[in-house]
Structure 1
Amino acid sequence: MSPPAESSRWQLLRLVMPYWNSDAKWKARGYTVALLLLTLAQVALVIWTNYWNRALFDALEARSLNRLMMQIGTFVVILLLTVGVTAMHMRVKRWLQLDWRRWLTARLVDKWMTRGHHYQLQQTRGEHDNPDGRIAEDIHVVTESAISLTHSLVYSLLIFSTFANILLTVTGSVQFPGTGLMVPGYMLILAVAYAGAGTVFGMLLGRPLIRATNKLQSAEADFRFGLAHARESSESIALMQGEEAERRSSTSHFAELGHRWYRQTMAYLGIVSFSSGYGVLLPVFPILVMAPQYISGAMTLGVLMQAAQAFHQLTSALSWPIDNLAELARWRASADRVMSLYNDLQDLEDQAAQPQDRICVAQSQQAEIVLRDLCIATPDGQVLIDGLNVMIQRGERVLISGDPAVTIGLFKVLAGLWPWGHGEVWLPAGAAICFLPQRPFLPVGSLCAALSYPQPAGTFAAGAMQHALESAGIAWLAKRMEEVDNWQSVLPLRTQQRLAIARLFLQQPAWVFIEEASSAFEARDEEDFMDMLHRELPDSTLLAISFQSGLERHYQRRLLLNHLPQEPLVGYGTPLRALRKS
């Protein structure tokens, strides 16, 4: 679940602020200080431009060519400095945005890609849909917008403090009409009132924008995910002639996106209408107010224009909330999505720290696998099997069959992916363990990288890789080792499974867990697969999930697991212990 709105801000700070204490803290702090100094330089140039503006109009009013030429030279200097400071500021700001994004992305990816959290997250409830989009897009928005908004806020505060003083100095006091009452700093009061009224009305008109933006981003993510999922499953969709269903799904998602877009448009409408009128009036308003002072000779044309510009800068600074409302809404929506993902990943870590409420998977110095009082449940608490006590010695070959939900659940428990339930699982410490799922993962890249996965390409000798491919019956792939492709799309499932088997032969693990890894094979090929395992991995322990008959002769015993309320039974070969807890 998402954190409460008040606490989420503090949680977000605790998530992102450690960047300035990370390994690259001195560089991050240095760039932050440089950004602040460049912001001060920008403000100084704006102040200089304000005083130059006064001198320019005074020179024009005096019709002095010499003073005009001097102001032109001054302007050239201001222009060159502005261009240089702006370029340096952009370089520093963008480096800081990218490095902060890199650090925060790495932090969330580390939590996501550890101890099977990326898999467990799919099995649990919470607001963590499309974690890839949250990491790729929302972190981008959070870091980039946070620095841009912070810079603009600091800039506005500095502009306010300096131009308030300028406005007080150059405009002086004015007499209230019909009375002898003098009002000091009247233009400053008007600037604050003008900007305050604009901010209040803008906030009221823009209040629905945050909710509308959040819902639109969720709809955009759902639309992207649907298209990406269709791309990844293109072969299955084509074989099942499911294109029309996918078109309907895409249309439905886009219809929801369009609805959310319309709601955001309506939220934008009020604030944009108000902002346009507010902006058109802003440069004219101070001149109209101070025109009587100029006409009466109380101020020069240069002072009038300087005061009008100072009024504009001051109100622009005070209008920071309304000017940045849309970006604040976008940032807030992305921040909430990042925090929801982070909190749910943190929940998984916290649950892992409470072994009494989950299955404990640990390592022992014994060359055996021990399941002790094991209970496997679903994430919502439904018990699949209870009281399972099993010991498997090094070198044994065990066939696991029965209820698919239970057998595959056991496979995931042994892999450390399924913590729901209770009991103990002891795995041999230091032993090479390999899991062979029904549909193997083949990364996009060279075939050599896919065969070596999860080790980097080049880990294994070319001769060893050639032998592994030959043993798996796919020697014809050897000539394509350097080709780069999406192998999960271009290779049929049967070849993918053989490639995973070749990967197994290459790695030579001591313990092998197989989940229907040859389901796409024909019966004769299945027999050949078992013979290959015996030949290439003669000393390895095999635990295989299979629901095909006729393979029992390749195993020493069989573990039959059924869903409660049936007893978990053990048969075939050497008996194993499977006891229900009393």
Structure 2
Amino acid sequence: MSAPLASLPPRRLSWQFLRLVTPYWKSANKWQVRGYTLALLLFTLAQVALAIWMNYWSRELFDALEDKSLNDLLMQVGTFVLIFILTMAVTALHMQVKRWLQLDWRRWLTAKVLDQWMTRGHHYQLQLVGGEHDNPDGRIAEDIRIVTESSIGLVHSLVYSLLIFGSFVDILLTVTGSATFPGTAFMVPGYMVILAFAYAGAGTVFGLLLGRPLITATNKLQTAEADFRFGLGRSRSNSESIALMHGEDIERQNAKTFFARLSQRWNRQTLGYLGIVSFSSGYGALLPVFPILLMAPQYIAGGMTLGVLMQAAQAFQKLTSALSWPIDNLGELAHCRASIQRVLSLYNDMQVLDEQASEPQEHRISVAQSTQHELVLRDLCIANPDGLILLEGFNQVVRRGEHVLIAGDPTVTISLFKVVAGLWPWGHGEVWLPEGPAISFLPQRPFLPHASLQSVLSYPQPAEHFTQAAMHHALECAGIAWLAPRLTELDSWDRVLPLRAQQRLGFARLFLQQPAWVFIEEATDAFDPKGEEGMMDMLYRELPNATLLTISFHTGLERHYQRKLLLNRPAQDKYLTCSTSECSLTTAPVTPVVTAAD
């Protein structure tokens, strides 16, 4: 699939990320988005202006204290109250604007990735192909949140630091002037600015060296966290099977194994943090004292007032903090980069699936809508994602109203089910779907969303499309009329109902929605023979004109069908290899067994 993103240099990773997210500022509500972005910038400018004002206020305050002037002190108290009120107002408005942008950007990016995930069966196909896209639900729910929140926070702090840098360089140059080496006439203009660069530069270099292991450790930790969540979620979704098989000890051990791996990577991240946090603590503790010690001789010699000394010291701190942005945000940068990689890996792999779907027809299975009332399979070759041939040279026409039983190799029959559903593009050939409403597919275990029973029954259509009487009738025909009083109840039906009742609910869905074409995949395997016979008789009674294609390996059902297709894999393993111009087989073709029985 896509190239590993963890090895990409920061510039290429940033470029890919920008290509993904910049359309947000060109989206349908672009003027609102741009307005909030501009407001965020203006409030950032206001924060910088208040910081500058506070710096000059500090100078006036300490000069008033040095002069022992009560009137000047009271005036500075009044000025501080104004600065204090404005600072609170700007901070509150800034936070509101920033959080709106973070949430709205997350909404947009989530919708974009989710649309890709839920398009053309990508959520299913990703499970069958290689690539860095494990735990896609966690990437969409958690990593996109981290990306949007951290990116806006980091960009804001960077812009703020750059503005502070530009402002306080000028202040520091103005108030400190030049320094003369003792006993010489040699002068160093702007010596405090040079020392601020040296202090921040040394801190950044040491911090980057000490924090380098943190990026790799954070990325691995986030993967371990996602694996741990996925394992617990899988145990929850299969709780009934686990309980019936008394598999709690195994699941508990698996969870402990996942957590042990998480703990190991947590400890590695802790080691990564250890060096940088220790250094940052000393670096931060020295920062307020360092400029005062440097300028103390100049103050003692009468070269500056106490107010100027404190203003210069504060400007030095502001300038150094702005220059220290990389080291201060190293942990957040690592966290954000790891999440960007995870989101891009998922999105890029889905883009690859889209590219495969748009390849020439000879490189994939083409599924298209016909203008005829028949299902046509022409020169169909089905392969695994790795190229192993499952079925080849298959031609078949299923006409409206036919009842066709499909048996043989389960791998082949189920892959045919997925090909017709548009979920399996690997191979080549043509599938022409019948004109009119889409084919209804009934898998072995129907999907039952967490919703009211009437919504489950009408899925994927709204429950309002059907009457209560029609729903009662469908449940009765499926042999689960006892569920009718619970139509409005909300529950996890895939957990509260046994498998046989779930399969009957799938048939009730067919009876309610009355499709013209139905493709069934072993949807009666939980039934006893008598129940299976009764369900098939009911299916023909309720859908007398429907075309039925049924995958089943129960020989007792053959009397219900007009013909039977027996599908088997080629006798010899063969692989399909596609270049940019053509596809070829590694061995001579072998025709599959296809029989028809009246």
Using structure 1 for the length normalisation, give the TM-score.
0.98
Q: Cα offset for 1:459? A: 2.1
Aligned to 1:466: 472
Shift of 1:132: 0.4
Q: Which residue of 2 aligns with 1:77?
A: 82
The aligned residue for residue 593 of structure 2 is 569
Whether 2:25 is the aligned partner of 1:20: answer yes
Are positions 1:217 and 2:217 aligned together?
no
Matches within 5 A, 1:29-48: 29-48=34-53
User: Partners of 2:412 and 2:547 in 1: how far apart?
Assistant: 21
Asked whether 1:87 is paired with 2:92, we answer: yes
Counterparts of residues 104-183 of structure 1 (less than 5 Å): 104-183=109-188
Aligned counterpart, 1:457:
463
| 1:25 alignment partner AA | K
Counterpart of 2:512 in structure 1 is 506
List aligned pairs for 1:336-355, cutoff 5 A: 336-354=341-359, 355=361
- SS of equivalent to 1:123: coil
Equivalent residue for 1:5?
Answer: 8
- Separation in 2 of the partners of 1:328 and 1:456? 44
Counterpart residue identity of residue 306, structure 2: L
Distance 2:297 2:462 in 1: 78
List per-residue Cα deviations over 1:464-487 (Å, max 9, x = no partner): 111111111111111111111111
**CA distance in structure 2 between the partners assigned to 1:92 and 1:571 by the alignment:** 68
Corresponding residue for residue 577 of structure 2? none
CA–CA separation in structure 2 for the residues paired with 1:259 and 1:549: 54
State the AA in 2 paired with 1:477. L
CA deviation after TM superposition for structure 1 residue 328, in Å:
0.1
Aligned to 2:106: 101
CA distance in 1, matches of 2:32, 2:379: 53
Q: Please state how far the C-alpha of 1:448 moved relative to its aligned partner.
A: 1.2
- Answer whether contact 2:242 2:248 (CA < 8 A) is retained: yes
Q: Equivalents in 1 of 2:197, 2:506: separation in Å?
A: 70
Q: 1:269 aligns with which of 267, 274, 277?
A: 274
Report the 3-state secondary structure (helix = DSSP H, G, I; strand = E; otherwise coil) of the residue aligned with 1:448: helix
Map residues 227-306 of structure 1 onto 2, 5 A cutoff: 227-306=232-311
Letter in 2 for 1:483: E
Match of 2:397 in 1: 391
Deviation at 1:567?
A: 4.6
- Which of 196, 201, 208 is 1:196 aligned to? 201
Distance in 2 (alpha carbons) for counterparts of 1:174 and 1:431: 85
Amino acid at match of 1:444: H
1:54-95 Cα deviation digits (max 9, x unpaired): 111111111111111111110000000000000000000000
Report the Cα distance in structure 2 between the residues aligned to 1:188 and 1:273, rounded to whole angstroms.
26
Can you list the C-alpha shifts for 1:119-173, whole angstroms capped at 9, x where unaligned?
A: 0000000000000000111111111100000000000000000000000000111
Deviation digits for residues 315-371 of structure 1 (CA, Å, limit 9, x no counterpart)? 000000000000000000000011100110000000000132111111110111111
Q: Is the 8 A contact 2:452 2:487 kept in 1?
A: yes
- The alpha-carbon deviation at position 385 of structure 1 amounts to 1.1
- Aligned residue pairs: how many? 574
Cα offset, 1:430, TM superposition: 2.4
Secondary structure at 2:377's aligned position in 1?
strand
8 A contact 2:520–2:550 mirrored in 1: yes
TM-superposed deviation, 1:569: 2.8
Corresponding letter in the other structure for 2:499: L
| Deviations 1:367-386 (CA, angstroms, capped at 9, x unpaired) | 11111111111110100111
Report the Cα distance in structure 1 between the residues aligned to 2:427 and 2:521, rounded to whole angstroms: 21
Match of 1:578 in 2: none
Q: Distance in 1 between matches of 2:298 and 2:252?
A: 69
Q: Measure how far apart 1:571 and its partner are.
A: 3.1
Partner secondary structure for residue 207 of structure 1: helix
Task: Give the Cα–Cα distance (whole angstroms) in 1 for the partners of residues 501 and 476 of structure 2.
Answer: 13
Structure 1 residue 550: Cα displacement: 0.9
Which residue number in structure 2 is paired with residue 484 of structure 1? 490
Secondary structure of residue in 1 paired with 2:555: coil
Does 1:493 pair with 2:512?
no
Which 10-residue stretch deviates more, 447-456 or 188-197?
447-456
Whole-Å separation in 2 of the counterparts to 1:356 and 1:14: 31
The alignment partner of 1:290 has SS state of: helix
**Amino acid aligned to 1:275:** S
Aligned Cα root-mean-square deviation (Å): 1.0
> What is residue 184 of structure 1 aligned with on the other side?
189
- Structure 1: gaps (5+ residues): 575-582
Report the residue type matching 2:190 in the other structure: G
| Contact 2:59-2:307 within 8 A present in 1 as well | yes
Task: Give the letter for the 2:416 counterpart.
Answer: L
2:331 aligned counterpart, secondary structure: helix
Separation in 2 of the partners of 1:381 and 1:32? 49
Q: Offset at 1:215?
A: 0.4
The aligned residue for residue 436 of structure 1 is 442
Distance 1:199 1:268 in 2: 15
CA distance in 2, matches of 1:429, 1:343: 34
What secondary structure, in the 3-state scheme, does the structure 2 residue paired with 1:183 have?
strand
Counterpart CA distance in 2 for 1:571 and 1:130 is: 42
Whole-Å separation in 2 of the counterparts to 1:94 and 1:286: 36
1:572 positional shift: 4.4
Q: 1:540 aligns with which of 546, 551, 565?
A: 546
* Kept in 1: contact 2:374–2:435 (CA 8 A): no
- Paired with 2:484 and 2:437, the residues of 1 have a C-alpha distance of 30
* Amino acid in structure 2 at the alignment position of 1:17: T
Query: Structure 1: which amino acid aligns with 2:256?
Result: T
What is the SS of the residue equivalent to 2:437?
A: coil
Residues of 2 paired with 1:570 and 1:505: CA distance?
31
Q: How far has the Cα of 1:241 moved from its partner? A: 1.1
Report Cα offsets for 1:25-69 as digits up to 9, x if no partner.
111100000000000000000000000011111111111111111
For the Cα contact (< 8 Å) 2:393–2:591, is it kept in 1?
Answer: no
One-letter code of the match for 2:235? A
For 2:435 and 2:43, how far apart are their aligned partners in 1? 56
Q: Could you tell me which residue of structure 2 aligns to residue 55 of structure 1?
A: 60
Aligned mates of 1:300, 1:197 — CA distance in 2:
30
1:448 aligns with 2:448: no
Specify the SS of the correspondent of 1:417. coil
- Which of residues 526, 529, 534 in structure 2 aligns to 1:528? 534
Equivalent-residue separation in structure 1 for 2:279 and 2:516 (angstroms): 71
SS in 2 for 1:573: coil
Cα distance in 1 for partners of 2:183, 2:150 equals 50
SS in structure 2 of the partner of residue 458 of structure 1: helix
- Contact 2:380–2:392 (CA<8 Å) still a contact in 1? yes
Q: Secondary structure of 1:509's match?
A: coil
**Cα distance, 1:432 vs structure 2:** 3.4
| Structure 1 CA distance for aligned equivalents of residues 470 and 234 of structure 2 | 36
One-letter identity of the residue aligned with 1:348:
L
Counterpart Cα distance in 2 of 1:178 and 1:207: 44
Q: Tell me the TM-score normalized by structure 2.
A: 0.95
- Give the Å deviation of 1:11: 1.2
Which deviations, in whole Å up to 9, do the C-alpha atoms of 1:210-265 show, x marking residues without a partner? 11100000000000000000000001111111111111111111110011001111
CA contact (8 A) 2:55 2:311 kept: yes
SS at match of 1:141: helix
